[in-house]
A = this chain, B = another copy of it.
């Protein structure tokens, strides 16, 4: 039985976006599957005391250099969004609504939303933009538009985030393999070895 990888991310996290491009290929090469869990990092920060990168003295300036450079390092398209960070509420709701019906299509939606925001400059905090992006990967717009204001769907991002917090997740991206935590796009080398060799 292949080890599953739990992949936690916020739709407004550039490093989460980079990891989203890389994690499936890394897991697949080891015969493993990835379960995607978008979360709301704002709720996590209420518990962890963390803050969005741009708000942190010195680190914010550094991130403005490191994020686009890391994108180039991995060969991933990146254009820093005019509005950053944005709320991932609409994107998360769309994801969990879709995941309940078709998890693989939900992953394609997540990647399309990430690209829309970090490569194409579209504001995915807008429910209409989320619906448009979903339509581009073959998800019917009217059904999604209705779902986005369904109370059960609206609750999904918060409960997914609470569950993540209870597992120790404090940042994006964050991976859990057999209970073992790995934080950051820059831990994918260790995730890869963990999947290939077991605990090291």
Contacts and interface: CB of A to CB of B under 8 A. Distances in A.
A29 to B, nearest CB: 18
Contact of A49 (B56, B65, B70, B181): B56
B186 A187 contact: yes
A28 interface: no
A17 to B, nearest CB: 17
A142 interface: no
A190 interface: yes
Interface of A: 47-49, 56-59, 61-62, 65-66, 69-70, 72-73, 168, 170-171, 180-184, 186-187, 189-190, 193, 200
Q: When A and B form their complex, which 8 residue pairs have the shortest distance between CB atoms, in order from nearest?
A: A186-B186, A58-B170, A48-B58, A48-B57, A73-B190, A72-B200, A49-B57, A62-B183
